[in-house]
Amino acid sequence: AAWEAFSEGKETVFDGTSGTDTWNPSAVLGGTFHGRDQKYFMYRFENGVRSFLLDDDQCSCFSTLEAGFTLCQGSSDPTKVASSLGVDKLNGEGCTSPGFSTSVELFVRERPSTESAAVGVQRAVVFVRESEPVVRIPVERTGPLSDAAAVSYMTMDGTGVAGTNYVAARGRVAWAAGEGGSKSIIVPIMLDSGIGASDKTFSLKLLAPEHASLSTAADETSVTIRVERTGVSGTPGPLSFKQEGGATDVQLNIAAKSKGGIAFSSGADTSVGSWFSEANAIDGDYGQLQAFRPDAAAPLAGAGSTASPNMPFIGVIFPARILIDHVAFGRDNTGVHANHWRGQVAVEVTTVPAPDASTLQSDWTLVDTVTMTTPLRRLYAFNSPTEATALRLRLINSTSEVIIIDELEVYQAGAVPSLTSGMLAQYTFEAATVSDPSKVVDTSGNGNDALVNGLVTFGMEGSFAAARFPKRASDTAVPAYLEVPALKNFEWDQAFTASVLVKRVGAGGFAGVLGNGRGVDGSFEIRMTPSNGGQEVGVSVNTVGGHNSGEFVLRGQAVPVGDWHHIVLTYGDNATSLWIDGEELIKSVSGTVVRVDQPLFIGVSGNPNKPAGSRPSDSLPASAAEGLDGFVHDVRIYNKTFTGVDVAELWRGFERTIKREGLAAWWRLAESSGSVIVDDSGKSVTGATSQSGTSWGEGGLMLDGTAGRASSSSALATLHGDAAFSVCAWVYPSRDAYSTDLDNVEYVVGLDGSGTDTWFALALRRGVPTLEFGGKTRVERQSGTKLPLSQWSHVCFSKSPGVKTGTGGAPSSTRLFVNGVEAPVRLSYSALDGVSFAQANAAPNLAATNKL
């Protein structure tokens, strides 16, 4: 409330001991002597009271206010302004101009909270390179999700200055009731081109939580902006997170002998036995637990220790002395990651000739230490290319064990493509970029903001922040689109790459997605075409002497309505390539692209501002079908041509999220241990085993058939009522034979519960896969074929809203897949219990309190 009063002039309720008064900033801070801009403030939390100090610029002691602190205090009466000498609260010095102290101090009392929900930053320290357009600071909500929650944020200068090193940001992050997990606060980074520039810091502060608690340990993130350094070889470390990705054709991987890397480790210690659970420390076979796994008895040494290497380590010896600039660990080539991290490792390099496991500790240079408490999904960047003959990871602290599955990837300098180099514009549509309803902020840092025209709305669509372009009601209706005037004069005839993630809701017509005009009226346009039921991607490229009076048309493939798809058009050296979902569909030597000075448009075909009569046909779009009916996320424009490696790197970042759309929980049991099961869905559905009756082995969680079980700590609240759901699991039946008793059921995985149709479970009934519902109703494999004993099978049931199975020849809303092949199903129930077919086939009504 005080912030709104300060920044927006809203009336604020003042909670005083003598009652409630209305504090009107326009009346209190406006007057004969104090009508200046209120530029300075200080936020404070002391003795359970939050306070804002507001000041104008008339007190001469404000000369020290460049740090943003208030030095003067006014009257304690909230309805009046002091006319006497102000008092310096910080160091006892007073203002030198009596009668001009016009500050007001607001005290807003904390409301006691009885809720256990909490909000906070996920990382206390974040690093970002100055070449990155933005830094994303994750904020997480945990605990009960029954109420909506929110927390405000603001940036504060450190050695970095807002407007010089970063763009100041303030706002509010909100979670709806039932919504948890993390959200990102975006702060644009500015390039400091000054000579001798050094690393800069600023912080992001959380404040004023609503329906949640905020601890002082989780209310601030310090951001360090790494200055880019040049040179052949620089001083190593610290490492900074760059991005996920890395293509298999550019990595130097210790599991791939053809790359020339040689794996080495600390081996065995005769006094304690092997330090590793497997003799072959890294074998390239992801998910088989043959990885870096030190025993608890292994000796440890702190980072920077000069002792001999009598502690667990693992690394790679390079075929020659090379420059390296990236390292990744805890994932395989497909971007799948281990979620089994505990303890702390030191990342070290050496330049000694012919290094091996006996190379002394004094010959290793510490790059950085990485604390592993949660799943790491990281490709780390060195702060400059670094010469090395070997790199190793050395365990320096462990609470239990460390597993690195399954590869250590080291990248030669320049091998990892940059997704920021050459970027002209990027639009992510995240909340901080669309706070002004008239524009979308360009997060590349180039200031190429997009202007909003028509009824374009913004919000979350699944896992992505997106712009929603609605279907036009008629041909004469005003189209909804985004326009980037700043790119009107870009040299499209030289080289460019256009990338967009799009999800269509409706099909039909030439629905424009991204471009600067259609046909000969523009240089290029990505759009949908009427082909393949109106779902085909088409590209119009205007070339010199090309087809169709200068328009060269590339047609791609159908992209189904309702799914996210990544489309990339790249041009250079007279060649144009079209990529969809990471696959190159067309590469054509089409000729030089014609430069047409039109703005960039998003969500519409052609230029809706082009007047009729200025081209052979009418102004565009001529029909309602030519406006996009769907969602757009992450639009990027580059002034360079993308290679296949670049496209793969960009697609990989989207692919993982797309594949997890709708994922409510993901327990990767082959990579868990102890009593804790880590959820890799991002929804924080952590599980715990009963311990009694459970053990780990055979690639997963072993259950004894009686006491063994595992359950989630929180409910899957998103699966409630007649919700669509899919439940899939790898199952290994290890009994000698299945029971012949019809009522013998082995429950595998599902939602708990007791009421009729309020829960479900994937189960084996006498070995036959079934989907059990409360009330003795089930959908089972029609053929009665059992799962094979003593081998792994993948079983997946998928249920659409509505009745359990179709009638009268209608397709079943419940489908079964065994090892990827669909199997027919049937409805089974007990008529002896007085249950009719209609009752048995009724849609379930899942409880919102069910746990996994």
Top pLDDT among 267 and 31 is at 267
Residue 206 pLDDT greater than 50, yes or no: yes
Q: What is the average pLDDT value for the chain, to the nearest integer?
A: 72
Rounded mean pLDDT, 579-602: 84
Top pLDDT among 497 and 76 is at 497
Tell me how far apart the alpha carbons of residues 450 and 182 are, in angstroms, rounded to a whole number: 27
Rounded mean pLDDT, 432-454: 92
Q: Which residue has the tokens 């397709």?
A: 811
Top pLDDT among 631 and 391 is at 631
Residue 47 pLDDT greater than 60, yes or no: no
Residue 254 pLDDT greater than 90, yes or no: no
Rounded mean pLDDT, 551-558: 59
DSSP per-residue letters across 147-200: S-EEEEEEEEESSS-BTTTB---EEEEEE-TT--EEEEEEEEB-----TT---E
Tell me how far apart the alpha carbons of residues 105 and 501 are, in angstroms, rounded to a whole number: 48
Whether the CB-CB separation of 40 and 102 falls below 8 Å is answered with no
For residue 839, report the phi and psi dihedrals to the nearest 5 degrees: -65, -40
> Per-residue confidence at 558, pLDDT binned at 50, 70, 90?
low
> Per-residue confidence at 379, pLDDT binned at 50, 70, 90?
low
Residues in the chain: 852
> Per-residue confidence at 313, pLDDT binned at 50, 70, 90?
confident
Pairing of strands 481-484, 149-157: unpaired
Residue 304 pLDDT greater than 60, yes or no: no
Least confident segment among 268-277, 434-443, 523-532, 748-757:
268-277
Least confident segment among 268-277, 435-444, 595-604, 702-711:
268-277
Question: Which H or E run includes 6?
Answer: helix 2-8
Question: Which H or E run includes 837?
Answer: helix 837-841
Which residues 6+ apart lie within 8 Å of 492 measured at CB? 516, 523, 524, 571, 593, 594, 595, 596
Residue 289 pLDDT: 37
> What six digits make up the tokens of 359?
């190379």
Domains of the chain in start order, with CATH, are 2-109 (no CATH), 118-226 (2.60.40.2030), 240-412 (2.60.120.260), 423-659 (2.60.120.200), 715-841 (no CATH)
pLDDT tens digits along 314-325: 777 877 788 887
Residue 178 pLDDT greater than 60, yes or no: yes
Residue 462 pLDDT: 83
> Per-residue confidence at 245, pLDDT binned at 50, 70, 90?
very low
Residue 804 pLDDT greater than 80, yes or no: yes
- Edge-first strand listing for the sheet containing 676-677: 676-677, 687-689, 710-712
Handedness of CA 654, 656, 657, 659 (dihedral sign): positive
Helices (H), 526-666: 531-534, 547-550, 644-659
> Per-residue confidence at 615, pLDDT binned at 50, 70, 90?
very low
Residue 218 pLDDT: 82
pLDDT tens digits along 275-291: 333 323 333 333 333 34
What is the widest separation between alpha-carbon atoms in the chain? 96
Beta strands in 110-148 (DSSP E): 118-121, 125-129, 134-142
> For every residue of 65-100, which 3-state class applies, written as one string?
HHHCCCCEECCCCCCCCCCCCCEECCCCCCCCCCCC
pLDDT tens digits along 394-424: 777 654 444 554 456 677 776 667 788 889 9
% pLDDT > 70, the chain: 63
Tell me how far apart the alpha carbons of residues 184 and 172 are, in angstroms, rounded to a whole number: 11
pLDDT tens digits along 476-486: 677 899 999 99
% pLDDT > 90, the chain: 23
Residues in a beta bridge with 459: 466
3-state secondary structure of 369: strand
Top pLDDT among 473 and 2 is at 473
> Per-residue confidence at 554, pLDDT binned at 50, 70, 90?
low
Residue 436 pLDDT: 92
> Per-residue confidence at 509, pLDDT binned at 50, 70, 90?
low
> Per-residue confidence at 555, pLDDT binned at 50, 70, 90?
low
pLDDT tens digits along 319-376: 778 888 777 765 444 444 444 455 667 788 999 998 887 788 888 888 887 765 544 4
CA atoms within 13 A on the CB side of 63: 7
> What six digits make up the tokens of 247?
């293509």
Which residues 6+ apart lie within 8 Å of 792 measured at CB? 699, 730, 731, 732
Residue 556 pLDDT: 60
pLDDT tens digits along 616-673: 344 444 555 577 889 999 999 999 999 887 888 788 778 878 877 788 898 878 666 6
Rounded mean pLDDT, 739-763: 90
Residue 818 pLDDT greater than 80, yes or no: yes
Residue 131 pLDDT: 63
pLDDT tens digits along 116-159: 688 998 777 777 767 667 788 889 888 888 888 899 999 999 98
Residue 763 pLDDT greater than 90, yes or no: yes
Residue 775 pLDDT: 73
Pairing of strands 118-121, 104-109: unpaired
Which residues 6+ apart lie within 8 Å of 697 measured at CB? none
Residue 613 pLDDT greater than 70, yes or no: no
Top pLDDT among 754 and 449 is at 449
